[in-house]
Chains A and B, each alone.
Chain A
Amino acid sequence: MAETATVPTYRRTGGIGRLLERYPFLPALVIVAALLLLNGFFSPNSLTLRALTGLLSTYMALILLAIAQTYVVYAGDIDLSAGAILSLVNVAIVVLMERWGGGAGAVFLALAIGLLLGLACGLVNGLVVAALRLQAIVATFATSIFFTGFALYVLPVAGTPAPALFWRTYGGRLFGVPFVFYILAALVILVAVMSRTRLVTQLLAVGDDQQAAYQTGLPVITTRIKGYVLCGLFSALAAFCITGDTASGDPLVGGKMTLYSVAAVVLGGSALSGGWGTVVGSLLGALTIGLINSVVFFMGTPSEWQNFVQGLAILLVLMAGVLAGRRARS
């Protein structure tokens, strides 16, 4: 992948170009704002706090999954098993909470185990891709099948409910503020802290030019493994949100979400070839996908046309982002 990542020489950037260089997620931010306006235009009710809370609690899982994906994409890798990890953690915690009685202690213990499970899955991916040097796309596709199989073993049929304590907290309010906003705030802090770590810079350096990073003396293999472990952890967090939102376990819930997470990363302005991007961009990218779905719904698109319109809208947004970037750079 390093070979395809050519960097233009003598690039002179103007004011907007420099701004974009600092904040590559700006186009995504503009698009999110535009989509919010569109939503408001088609249905003024969709901009109420209640509606936005609903949007956030539905798409918080995708946001987290997109963030998870970002860390592997930083290093020029990809994780096609992120959705499967989400499913596995989802069913594991639902089954454990039910088995342990659904009290507060059981919930926390199950969540801790869910995190460990995500970490273990990430470690497996990391070892397979970075240490064994298998192709990331195919290797993580294979582990995704494996994780899905494990999820089906844990819970063969969808439907086991999560304890009320868990989903009521997720969907409820704390001191009058919806709980998902606390999650969002915590997430922003977490991401800001993460961005200052040495690991993130090392991931980006590895993704920029793996050979150069190796020659510089960076621990390339360990760094890539750590990227996958981070991805596993954030996928587990995404699983907590999906469990809170759907209030049940479903061994196939994450399958479709994997490619959405990849799309969100790209919509957020990150380079799939690695070395370039922001987590905030991915967050906005995930919101973009959520908002597109909501616009399509509020526009009153007939159900048989919804997928068609959604796909077209994502393509349009992608194109707008690319054009904005190109214009600013020239």
Chain B
Amino acid sequence: MSKLKLSGVSKAYGATLALRRGDLELMAGEVHVLMGSNGSGKSTLCKIIAGSVRPDGGKILVDDQPVTISGPRSARAHGIGIFYQELSLAARRSVEENISLGKLPVKSRVFIDRSELRQRAARYIGLFDGVCGEGFSADTLVGNLRPDQRQLVEIMKALASEAPLLIFDEPTSALDRAQVERFFEILRDLKRRGRGIIFISHRMDEIKAIGDRVTIIRDGETITTLNLDDTDPAAVIRLMVGGAGDMPASQSSVPAVVEGKGGAALTVRDLSGRGFRNVSFEVGRGEILGFGGLHGQGQSAVLRAIFGAGSIASGEILIGDSRFDAANPRDAIRRGCAYVSGDRSRDGVISGRPIIENVTPIHYLRDRLLIARPGKLRDRVAPALESMHTKFASLFHPIGSLSGGNQQKVIIARWLIDRPDVLLLDDPTKGIDLSAKADLFALIRQLAAEGLGIVLYSSEDAELLGNANRILVFNGGSVSRELTGADRTRYNLYQAAYEAA
């Protein structure tokens, strides 16, 4: 018996068809993976099931009964719980309040039952005992937590709905491996207890690890549903991208790298600051240096510090042969340092503004432009965007009209108009789809071949193994191991990350 069945569900926003024909059948006791590139309609489909988006057409059956889901409350009443990709937390409420926010326990009908609230929170926090990280407790305000901890709270909140049918829309994007493993144990347990789970992730290894069946969505249409045991990643990706099968091999673990061209592009000596200490490394021109390790071990902090956005207590940074200590990002940009963050909404996108304005801020700064003509700018902007295969309607559409992957391409393109010497990539592929990732890495390799020094921090091991010449594994704020040549194996990376962690 199917727990949930969708047939022919559609949703349009104005003229854009977000979902053309969504079909999905979810059984009890299965983890059903939804796959599709960004903007293919996965999240829309999930939101329709969860009631936060009203469909224009189609049928929804819960336990073989046709239902109308009129809103999130009605979805809850039908036994549907959801983890939202963009999270649905109240930042200034405590962890325990957030976990139960959907159904606050009450006594005497109007007062919050604090002891029940606490007990309930303890139950779900306990599931993640030992992997929550420091500073995590039931009465911490959610806004004071790290991104991975917030993601855990959203997971706990979804679990606390105790719904027979759970949707997880990219629940692992900020989590480290230990957290993911614990989460998967919990999912397996839920599966055994007959819950139906819809799961979205862009990480192939996770999908193989947890999924039973996969439904592939492309351009708002359900293509097919397959048993994951009967298929392989390459086939799934082919179905996802459709006819365009010319994917570069960047997702494979073959370390196809450009040899160093000699001369250091970036040298860091004994750098210490908030979140990291005694970090030393050298990046040659044409080299891609990988930063690996568990999430939040100082990788981002080092990159931000070099870019002038973090704190440096002591140490030395050189770009080329000249001393480089940027007081602020503005200074760093002027002197040829580029930084791309995976947290687009915080560090990259100028929301609500046209694409052209999102591509040009660095150009304005480096060329000290005061007045510019859009026509001239267009000629400079177009090649940068084209080199990334960015899809957009026109330069004057707002950046928000693009999918996550295309937004990130725009952010990267802004650095390509005036070439920097050093490119710092801080988990740049977070939450973007596989084909956008492929475009991105093709470009990164090309830039390295042109002589840029590149530092790549990625939370996905496959990206590091497939693209970096050397990998520095971070642990507790300092480099615990360097992997070069044949040492760059998944096993070594895994092991170094967990050493003394």
Q: Show the binding face of A for B, using Cβ within 8 Å.
A: 5, 7-13, 21, 196-199, 201-202, 204-205, 208-209, 211-219, 275-276
Chain B residues, Cβ within 8 Å of A196: 111-112, 114
- In the complex, which of the residues B71, B87, B89, B106 contacts A198, with contact meaning CB atoms closer than 8 Å? B106
- In the complex, which of the residues A199, A204, A208, A213 contacts B110, with contact meaning CB atoms closer than 8 Å? A199
When chains A and B are docked, how far (Å) is the Cα of A183 from the Cα of B10?
58
Question: Are A198 and B104 touching (Cβ within 8 A)?
Answer: yes
Question: Are A198 and B73 touching (Cβ within 8 A)?
Answer: no
Binary CB contact string for chain B from 114 to 128 against chain A (1 if under 8 A, 0 otherwise):
100000000000000
**Distance (whole angstroms) from the CB of B169 to the closest CB of chain A:** 11
Q: How large is the interface on B (under 10, 10 to 19, 20 to 34, 35 or more residues)?
A: 20 to 34
The prevalent SS among residues of B at the interface is mixed
Question: Are B88 and A215 touching (Cβ within 8 A)?
Answer: yes
Give B126-167 interface residues, CB cut-off 8 Å to A.
141, 143-144, 146-147, 157
Binary CB contact string for chain B from 46 to 57 against chain A (1 if under 8 A, 0 otherwise):
000010100000
When chains A and B are docked, how far (Å) is the Cα of A293 from the Cα of B97?
40
- In the complex, which of the residues A199, A205, A211 contacts B101, with contact meaning CB atoms closer than 8 Å? A205
**Distance (whole angstroms) from the CB of B466 to the closest CB of chain A:** 29
Question: Are A201 and B72 touching (Cβ within 8 A)?
Answer: no
Which single residue of chain B is at the shortest CB-CB distance from A211? B88
Which single residue of chain B is at the shortest CB-CB distance from A200? B112
Across the A-B interface, how many residue pairs have beta carbons closer than 8 Å?
84
Name, among B87, B106, B114, B141, the residue most crowded by chain A CB atoms within 10 Å (CB to CB): B141
Chain A residues, Cβ within 8 Å of B101: 205, 213, 216, 218
- In the complex, which of the residues A8, A204, A211 contacts B93, with contact meaning CB atoms closer than 8 Å? A204
Question: Are B88 and A212 touching (Cβ within 8 A)?
Answer: yes
Question: Are B112 and A198 touching (Cβ within 8 A)?
Answer: yes
Give B256-311 interface residues, CB cut-off 8 Å to A.
none
Binary CB contact string for chain B from 324 to 335 against chain A (1 if under 8 A, 0 otherwise):
000000000000
Contacts A208-B91, A219-B73, A276-B92 supplied; 8 other A-B pairs, CB < 8 Å: A7-B91, A9-B146, A13-B144, A198-B106, A208-B90, A209-B91, A212-B84, A213-B101
When chains A and B are docked, how far (Å) is the Cα of A13 from the Cα of B102?
28
Binary CB contact string for chain B from 70 to 107 against chain A (1 if under 8 A, 0 otherwise):
01110110000010100111111100010001111010
Question: Are B111 and A197 touching (Cβ within 8 A)?
Answer: yes
Chain A residues, Cβ within 8 Å of B102: 216-218
**Distance (whole angstroms) from the CB of A209 to the closest CB of chain B:** 6
Chain A residues, Cβ within 8 Å of B112: 196-198, 201
Chain B residues, Cβ within 8 Å of A205: 90, 93, 97, 101
Which single residue of chain B is at the shortest CB-CB distance from A209? B90
Which single residue of chain A is at the shortest CB-CB distance from B80? A217
B346 at the interface (CB under 8 A from A): yes
**Distance (whole angstroms) from the CB of A54 to the closest CB of chain B:** 36
Question: Are B143 and A8 touching (Cβ within 8 A)?
Answer: yes
Given contacts A198-B112, A208-B90, contact A9 B97 (CB under 8 A): no
Name, among B71, B92, B157, the residue most crowded by chain A CB atoms within 10 Å (CB to CB): B92
**Distance (whole angstroms) from the CB of B296 to the closest CB of chain A:** 9
Chain A residues, Cβ within 8 Å of B114: 196
Given contacts A10-B146, A216-B102, contact A204 B90 (CB under 8 A): yes
Chain B residues, Cβ within 8 Å of A197: 110-112
Chain B residues, Cβ within 8 Å of A201: 93, 97, 104, 112
When chains A and B are docked, how far (Å) is the Cα of A216 from the Cα of B52?
9
List 10 A-B pairs, minimum CB-CB distance, nearest first: A208-B90, A7-B143, A212-B88, A7-B91, A217-B72, A215-B88, A205-B90, A217-B102, A217-B73, A216-B102
Question: Can you report 12 residue pairs joining A to B where beta carbons are below 8 Å apart?
Answer: A7-B91, A7-B143, A199-B110, A201-B93, A205-B90, A209-B89, A215-B84, A216-B157, A217-B72, A219-B73, A275-B92, A275-B93
**Distance (whole angstroms) from the CB of A329 to the closest CB of chain B:** 10
Chain B residues, Cβ within 8 Å of A8: 143
When chains A and B are docked, how far (Å) is the Cα of A216 from the Cα of B154?
10
When chains A and B are docked, how far (Å) is the Cα of A216 from the Cα of B91?
13
Chain A residues, Cβ within 8 Å of B87: 212
Which single residue of chain B is at the shortest CB-CB distance from A204? B93
Given contacts A197-B111, A201-B104, A215-B72, contact A9 B92 (CB under 8 A): no
When chains A and B are docked, how far (Å) is the Cα of A12 from the Cα of B135?
9
Question: Are A212 and B90 touching (Cβ within 8 A)?
Answer: yes
Chain A residues, Cβ within 8 Å of B110: 197-199
Name, among B52, B75, B101, the residue most crowded by chain A CB atoms within 10 Å (CB to CB): B101
When chains A and B are docked, how far (Å) is the Cα of A208 from the Cα of B106?
21
Chain B residues, Cβ within 8 Å of A13: 144
- In the complex, which of the residues A9, A199, A202, A214 contacts B147, with contact meaning CB atoms closer than 8 Å? A9
